[in-house]
């Protein structure tokens, strides 16, 4: 009997750049065997605006608005990373009140960023309602940030040596009132989706990243902590006033300890929101009166040298490498972001997953396309 060999081949599917759940303009070229992914090749660069090149062409201060666009979901944190790097480079001292204001706005921004991350992960799983609830709370945070700096998305709030505006009257009261209102609502969103059986079935034991693998690929922030590495730049290499504040560093804890799956990464973000609320409350208690910005020369000429500064943004530590040759503009600015490293691990993780799982993986890594491409 002649055995006929059937010829089969993988189906190549193009996911993105216009796909509902790639969170921006990212493209994946997937080779699938039916529903199962055999090979996944991310194609990034659709949002590459050469921000690093722009930095080389302008004075030190003028680059701050561009850092907003590096990560527009958490622009305050991106502002801060750059400002801190330049301040260290030029030896500028930041007044204490400005540090407190920076922490407050950054943590507010972290809450709103994590809300987007959690909501988008839910929506990728097909649950719309938690997403809308999360965005509703984010609106309130946007209102608060608008109150302090006049912008709702790209803030340009921090300046070299401090912040641009002092907190307006009632900012403290309104923020604290929001936090009181937000805490039960956060519980509600949590209860609605995180304990849901179907949601857990979709997220648990999917795309497991071990601690070693996370270190090898240099995952950062919540993605790293989801794999059980308890490292937070705010705690382990404290900058600003974080060492005077009391907060915990959550690691991924599903129901079986640290696994490193999508659910662990997701739950870390939910826990971090609680910690941010704690931090903001403490800041308001301790905030001193005083200046909000140091005097900085119009034309800044830091000494020649290079520096690499890390700060904890919602998507992990953002590394700002600045090389200076003693001129009025940077010689080179390199921005190493959390989304970039998270993206580089996806080809390895995606093998053998379902197409629907790939969506879950992207959602759980909280990839923001402009931060990825810069």
Partner 1 sequence: MDILIQTIGDIINADLGSPLAAFIALLLVSLAILGFMSLTAGGLSFIERRVAGRMQSRIGPNRVGPQGILQFMADGLKCAQKEDLIPDGADRLLFKLAPVLCFIGVFGTFAVLPWGNGFFASELNVGLLYLMSVTSLVVIGMLMAGWSSNNKWSLLGGMRSAAQMVSYEIPVALSLLPVILLCGSLSFKELIGAQGAMPWDWNILNSPFTFISFFIFFLAALAEGNRTPFDIPEGESELVAGYCTEYSGLRFVFFFFAEWANLYVIGAVAAAVFLGGGHLPFGLESDIVSLLVFFAKSFFMVFIIIWLRWTLPRFRVDQMMTLCWKTLIPLSFVMLFGQAITLLIYHELTFLQSIVSLVLFAICVLVGVKFVSRVLVNIKEQKYKMMHTLTGS
Partner 2 sequence: MSPIYARMSEVVLNIDVVLNIVKDELGLDLVQDESAIEGSSLVVPSESLLSVMEVLRQHEKLKFRVLMSQTGVHRGEDMLLFYHLHSYEFSHTICVLCVVPAEGGEVDSVSCIWSGADWLERETFDLLGVHFKGHPNLRRIMMPEDWEGHPLRKDYKMPTEYAGIDNTPCSLEKLDD
Residues interacting with partner 1, by CB under 8 A? 11, 13-14, 19-21, 34-35, 122-129, 132-133, 136, 177, 180-181, 184, 188, 192-193, 196, 198-199, 201-202, 354-357, 359
Provide the token pair at 26.
């990212």
Axis crossing angle, helix 355-365 with helix 262-286, rounded to the nearest 10: 20
129 binds, among partner 2, partner 1, none (CB under 5 to 8 A by kind): partner 1
Contact 101, 163 (CB under 8 A): yes
Alpha helices in the chain (DSSP H): 51-56, 64-70, 75-90, 96-124, 128-149, 171-193, 197-203, 211-216, 221-226, 233-236, 262-286, 338-350, 355-365, 369-373
Closest contact distance (angstroms) between CB of 278 and partner 1 is 17
CA gap 349, 237 in Å, rounded: 30
Closest contact distance (angstroms) between CB of 213 and partner 2 is 8
Q: Whose Cβ is closer to partner 1: residue 14's or residue 62's?
A: 14
Q: Whose Cβ is closer to partner 1: residue 19's or residue 332's?
A: 19
181 binds, among partner 2, partner 1, none (CB under 5 to 8 A by kind): partner 1
Residue 295 has a CB neighbour count (10 Å cut-off) of 9
Q: Whose Cβ is closer to partner 1: residue 202's or residue 315's?
A: 202
Q: Whose Cβ is closer to partner 2: residue 281's or residue 334's?
A: 334
Contact 316, 224 (CB under 8 A): yes
Q: Whose Cβ is closer to partner 1: residue 133's or residue 315's?
A: 133
Closest contact distance (angstroms) between CB of 178 and partner 1 is 9
Closest contact distance (angstroms) between CB of 308 and partner 2 is 5
Contact 60, 324 (CB under 8 A): no
323 binds, among partner 2, partner 1, none (CB under 5 to 8 A by kind): partner 2
Q: 308 — phi, psi (to 5°)? A: -125, 120
Closest contact distance (angstroms) between CB of 317 and partner 2 is 8
CA gap 341, 218 in Å, rounded: 6
Contact 63, 54 (CB under 8 A): yes
Closest contact distance (angstroms) between CB of 142 and partner 1 is 16
Nearest to 174 by CA among 151, 149, 141: 141
Q: Whose Cβ is closer to partner 2: residue 140's or residue 240's?
A: 240
Q: CA gyration radius for the chain?
A: 22
Q: Whose Cβ is closer to partner 2: residue 214's or residue 262's?
A: 214
Q: Give, in order, the Cα–Cα distances in Å from 91 to each of 10, 77, 237, 301.
A: 57, 20, 19, 11
133 binds, among partner 1, partner 2, none (CB under 5 to 8 A by kind): partner 1
Residue 184 has a CB neighbour count (10 Å cut-off) of 9
163 binds, among partner 2, partner 1, none (CB under 5 to 8 A by kind): none
357 binds, among partner 1, partner 2, none (CB under 5 to 8 A by kind): partner 1
Q: Whose Cβ is closer to partner 1: residue 49's or residue 351's?
A: 351
Contact 54, 66 (CB under 8 A): yes
Residues that bind partner 2 (CB under 8 A): 44-45, 48, 50, 52-53, 56, 87-89, 91-94, 99, 215-218, 229, 231, 236-241, 243, 303-310, 319, 321, 323, 325, 331-332, 334, 336, 340-341, 343-345, 348, 373
CA atoms within 13 A on the CB side of 248: 10
Closest contact distance (angstroms) between CB of 295 and partner 2 is 14
Closest contact distance (angstroms) between CB of 6 and partner 1 is 18
């Amino acid at each position: 009997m002649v055995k006929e060999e059937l010829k089969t081949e993988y189906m190549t599917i193009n996911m993105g750049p216009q796909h509902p759940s790639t969170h921006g303009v990212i493209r994946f070229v997937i080779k699938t065997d039916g529903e199962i992914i055999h090979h996944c090749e991310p194609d990034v660069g659709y949002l590459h605006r050469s921000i690093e090149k722009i930095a080389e062409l302008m004075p030190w201060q003028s680059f701050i608005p561009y850092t907003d666009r590096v990560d527009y979901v958490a622009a305050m944190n991106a502002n801060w990373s750059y400002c801190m790097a330049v301040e260290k480079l030029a030896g500028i001292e930041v007044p204490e009140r400005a540090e407190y204001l920076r922490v407050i706005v950054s943590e507010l921004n972290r809450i709103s960023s994590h809300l987007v991350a959690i909501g988008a992960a839910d929506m990728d799983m097909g649950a719309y309602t938690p997403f809308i609830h999360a965005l509703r709370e984010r609106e309130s945070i946007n209102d608060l940030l608008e109150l302090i700096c006049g912008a709702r998305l790209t803030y340009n709030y921090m300046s070299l040596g401090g912040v641009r505006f002092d907190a307006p009257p009632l900012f403290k009261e309104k923020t604290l009132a929001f936090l009181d209102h937000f805490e039960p609502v956060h519980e509600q969103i949590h209860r609605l989706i995180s304990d849901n059986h179907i949601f857990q079935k979709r997220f648990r034991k999917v795309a497991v990243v071990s601690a070693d693998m996370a270190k090898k690929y240099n995952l950062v922030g919540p993605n790293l902590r989801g794999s059980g590495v308890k490292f937070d730049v705010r705690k382990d290499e404290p900058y600003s006033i974080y060492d005077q504040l009391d907060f915990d560093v959550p690691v991924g804890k599903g129901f079986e300890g640290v696994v490193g799956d999508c659910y662990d990464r997701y739950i870390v973000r939910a826990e971090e929101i609680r910690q941010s609320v704690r931090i903001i409350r403490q800041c308001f208690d301790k905030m001193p009166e005083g200046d909000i910005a140091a005097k900085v020369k119009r034309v800044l000429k830091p000494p020649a040298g290079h520096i690499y500064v890390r700060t904890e943004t919602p998507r992990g530590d953002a590394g700002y490498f600045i090389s200076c040759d003693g001129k009025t503009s940077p010689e080179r600015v390199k921005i190493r972001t959390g989304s970039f490293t998270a993206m580089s691990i996806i080809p390895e993780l995606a093998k053998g997953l379902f197409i629907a799982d790939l969506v879950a993986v992207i959602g759980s890594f909280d990839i923001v396309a402009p931060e990825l491409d810069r």
